[in-house]
A and B are shown apart, each in its own frame.
Chain A
Amino acid sequence: MSEQTQTPPNTQPRRWKMSRRQFLIGLGSGLGLLAVGTFLGRKTIVREVRLIANQAFLTGDAPGAQPPDNPSIWFEIGTDNITHIYVPKIEMGQGVHTSLAQIAADELELDWETVHVHQADTETGFDPGVLFTFGSTSVTDLYQPIREVAATMREMLREEAAAQLNVDVSEIICEGSRCFVISAPDSTLNYGDIVANRQDEWVIPDKEATLKPVSEFNLIGQPVKRVDFHEKVTGRAVYGFDARLPGMLYGAVARQPRYGATLVSASAGDAKSQPGVVAVVIREEFAGIVAETRPQASAALEHLQLEWEGGITWNQADLEEFIRIKDDDEAILIQRDGNVSSMFNSGNIIQAEYTTPMAAHAHLEPQAGLADVQDDFVTIYASTQAPDMTQSTAATQLGIDAENITVIPTYLGGGFGRKTGTDAAIEAAILSQAVGQPVHVGWNRTEEMQHGYRRPPTHHILTGSLDDNGNLLAMEHQLASGDVLFWSTDSAGGGSSVLSTVLGADPLAAFGSLIVYNAPSRRVLFHRRKMEIPTGFWRGLGSFPNTFAVESFIDELARSANIDPIQFRLNNLPEDELGERMRVALETVRGTSDWENLSSESVGRGIAMTWDRGTVVVLVMTASVENGSIRPLQAWCAVDPGFVVNPDGAAAQVQGQIVMALSSTLYERITIENGMVSNENFHQYPLLTMSDTPQIEVITINSSDTPTGGLGEPVIGTIPAAMSNAIFDLTGQRLRDLPFQLNQE
């Protein structure tokens, strides 16, 4: 089992033939190779359906749908008995290359040592939309299709082994990359031998292959070790910032001084005569330098003559005032249950407000890309979650057909939502086109902090009503947020898209905002805040700010009703399958953390719960205050994503989210000054270090036999809430604004 950045020689793009069962088989199979794959792309299917509909409408003649001729996922077995698994998802640290390979290896009955994992790229014909890696969806989306391809391939090998060994197929067992005869275990062929012995072309069988039952899994559900670590710990792994080509140069690009400012005039000034400068590239809204070294390119930027006009002049106070929910706001209703017109006419009314600031992704590898633009062919190495978008944007920017642009996704040095952008790769492509040589663009930390996009600021007003027994009568969440999805659908500072006009509320900013607890009346209102400051996807999307607000407020309600916060949640769970999963997770963490005995004079305890995209999360945290500073002590986190493919990978994702969210809870705040982010580097935006890292215990729960939710994001919003609740438990201070500031009196 291993992962290689370099593509092996036998994996040139091959041609494919469609089978009757919508599987694809690599042409040439039967000549020492078996290659089977399938396509998944929603976009292709949508395109074909639209084509049929439009042609039928316009011409009265409906063409047949044309399925794609390239697979989105595929595996190859050669005569050397090595299985190559092509993964159509980007490895950004989440372990997706390992978890997807272990799913395939289990169903295909592979010897794990014979598995080689490869990153797929746009050259191999992938459908747009599949390579895009986001939203904690990789395992849930690909779990079933990968198993179907693997099982089909396994059954083909089994049938062929039966023929070669001259026994009935029911006599053959596949195990450890070999087939053997049940009654004569010495009669055996490994997969490589079977492939070598096959004389004819392989045929996909008509009969559907049966998937293995959970009880027979030998890799799925196991803490299989990561395939990418050897090349990572030896420094050989290639990230976007590390991509190299012979004769490459370095680029740097001028940045706007204020958000919304436009470049009205640009000239080279004396930049051309600066040391090492090869070219000054000026186009519409773009001025950049190509030089022999990276520092030379950056240094020459100051010598350009640039005139910027317009843009915002906001300071932090302007932003905070803009975000606040106002009485005359027009809000969009996104949840309404029961009678809401008189929802707060009875009971004991409790109300609280919460805020979260803008935050940076702070992935340690800045945006990076290397482009080689030749007249008829373009190669781009990019550190991106969205290789397909990189390809289409490059096509538009360069005026070159997308088919002639190959995008090779590299490892990502962290993504967290920020690498859905394609910035650096496109800048490199523009500069490379101008000089006819490969150009690398790697942003510096200040560019990373100030440009691109960031987590939007939010303001929340929560109102609840309790009867005298502490039962929840009504609950309302009003939330104001900068854009998450709409930043990418609406033009900056300009018009609104159909999507944002129809929806009104940004669906991704609203993640985690809905009220799942049982109450006769419930309402959620969304206040969109469209700003010139770019905001967008940040790990967890809306679930970070919203879970913080909602789950802190649930604690306030429980305190006000004088009911234990776990009991209060149990009392108000929805009466359905989700409620049952939440109950199990709550009871599990209550037991594991020894909840009843966690509080003391110097230790506070807090709990938070959420349900996010198919995954249930319950988190208990303890905290203390030492020398006036908040100190996280211990965390117990139960996650139920339906079914866990790799428990150690799952634990790593949970641990990582707890650390990242604690950093945001205690330290992180992006501020704005004169229309620009004022934090330039980590001295003005410190991250949490090992000294603040708590002990973390992760409990994985399988409530199903198949994955229903992801694990890369759902935990993140529970941390600030559990911490706020723990600090209240210890000090009686309710911290409602991130990052936390203790009142030191």
Chain B
Amino acid sequence: MELRINGELYEVDVPEDDMRLVWVIRDSIGLTGTKYGCGMGICGSCTVHVDGVPTRSCITPVQTVADKDITTIEGLATVDADGNETLHPVQQAFIDEQVPQCSWCMSGQMMTAAAFIENNSNPTEEDITTAMSANYCRCGCYARIRTAVAVAASNMGENA
């Protein structure tokens, strides 16, 4: 089948129709920035965008996203014609605020945050907490994630 990921078309051989998207993205295609954590859609490490909507790829059967636009962490930054990469405001804020520790959950955190601030340029702390409370971080970076999402939202608003 064909999958459209980060604007590119991939032809993949999927042995079972209900194979979970996370394994197709990671193992068949080799984009390993999307992480596996629980396989039940609880921890959020595997979050990708499907037509802009944050989606848990570990519980998403691959055939349900056949005609959709999928974005992974590898597609969050923009690259110009000369190959220069500009990080997404969320990625930049996660570096500026020194958010990650081990960073295994951070792709999912950033994908969740990027979709959230797309529609919320001026969120309250409570809004951020509500939006981000379904993503686990075992290293305990929550306080810094909260700050970085606020910074990213504000920078996103300025650039809009």
Q: How many residues of B contact A (CB 8 A)?
A: 60
Which residue among B37, B73, B105 has the maximum number of chain A CB atoms within 10 Å of its CB? Answer: B37
Q: Which one of B32, B34, B101, B110 contacts A244 once the chains associate, using CB atoms below 8 Å?
A: B32
CA distance A726 to B145 in the complex (A): 26
Residues of A within 8 A of B76 (CB): 234
Q: Which of B27-41 contact A (CB under 8 A)?
A: 27-28, 30-40
B100 and A229 contact, CB distance less than 8 A = yes
Q: Which one of A93, A442, A681 contacts B100 once the chains associate, using CB atoms below 8 Å?
A: A93
Q: Which one of B27, B33, B141, B142 contacts A250 once the chains associate, using CB atoms below 8 Å?
A: B27
Asked if A237 lies at the interface with its beta carbon under 8 angstroms from chain B, I say: yes
Which of A72-80, A391-399, A613-621, A684-692 lies at the interface? A684-692
B42 and A652 contact, CB distance less than 8 A = no
Residue of B nearest to A95 (CB): B101
Residues of A within 8 A of B130 (CB): 691
A234 and B74 contact, CB distance less than 8 A = yes
A275 and B16 contact, CB distance less than 8 A = yes
- A94 and B134 in contact (CB under 8 A), knowing A293-B27, A690-B145? no
* A-B residue pair count with CB separations less than 8 angstroms: 176
Residues of A within 8 A of B141 (CB): 652, 655-656, 659
Minimum CB–CB distance from A71 to chain B (whole Å) comes to: 28
Asked if A590 lies at the interface with its beta carbon under 8 angstroms from chain B, I say: no
Asked if B64 lies at the interface with its beta carbon under 8 angstroms from chain A, I say: no
Residues of B within 8 A of A232 (CB): 100, 103, 106
B87 and A234 contact, CB distance less than 8 A = yes
Which of A52-60, A202-210, A409-417, A580-588 lies at the interface? A409-417
Asked if A473 lies at the interface with its beta carbon under 8 angstroms from chain B, I say: no
Minimum CB–CB distance from B135 to chain A (whole Å) comes to: 8
Mask, A320-336, CB within 8 Å of B = 1, is: 00000000000000000
Mask, A394-433, CB within 8 Å of B = 1, is: 0000000000000000011111100000000000000000
Q: How many residues of A contact B (CB 8 A)?
A: 60
- A414 and B138 in contact (CB under 8 A), knowing A233-B94, A295-B20, A691-B133? yes
B136 and A294 contact, CB distance less than 8 A = no
Q: Which one of B37, B45, B142 contacts A689 once the chains associate, using CB atoms below 8 Å?
A: B142
Mask, B81-97, CB within 8 Å of A = 1, is: 00001010001001100
Asked if A92 lies at the interface with its beta carbon under 8 angstroms from chain B, I say: yes
Residues of A within 8 A of B26 (CB): 242
- A364 and B39 in contact (CB under 8 A), knowing A232-B103, A413-B104? no
Q: Which one of B35, B40, B85, B134 contacts A364 once the chains associate, using CB atoms below 8 Å?
A: B35
Asked if A737 lies at the interface with its beta carbon under 8 angstroms from chain B, I say: no
CA distance A127 to B118 in the complex (A): 50
Mask, A647-661, CB within 8 Å of B = 1, is: 010001001111110
B138 and A687 contact, CB distance less than 8 A = yes
Asked if B132 lies at the interface with its beta carbon under 8 angstroms from chain A, I say: yes
- A275 and B15 in contact (CB under 8 A), knowing A235-B32, A241-B36, A681-B38? yes
Asked if B116 lies at the interface with its beta carbon under 8 angstroms from chain A, I say: no
CA distance A293 to B20 in the complex (A): 11
Mask, B4-21, CB within 8 Å of A = 1, is: 000000000001100110
Minimum CB–CB distance from B1 to chain A (whole Å) comes to: 14
CA distance A228 to B104 in the complex (A): 13
Which residue among A232, A366, A416, A658 has the maximum number of chain B CB atoms within 10 Å of its CB? Answer: A232
A689 and B133 contact, CB distance less than 8 A = yes
Minimum CB–CB distance from B139 to chain A (whole Å) comes to: 5
Residues of B within 8 A of A230 (CB): 95
Mask, A432-443, CB within 8 Å of B = 1, is: 000000000010
Q: Which of A59-109 contact B (CB under 8 A)?
A: 92-95
Q: Which 6 A-B pairs have the closest CB atoms?
A: A235-B33, A659-B140, A413-B104, A93-B102, A93-B101, A235-B73
Apart from A234-B33, A295-B19, A442-B36, what 18 extra A-B contacts exist at CB < 8 Å? A93-B100, A229-B98, A229-B100, A230-B95, A233-B87, A239-B104, A276-B15, A294-B23, A364-B35, A364-B45, A364-B138, A413-B35, A413-B104, A445-B38, A656-B139, A659-B141, A681-B39, A683-B42
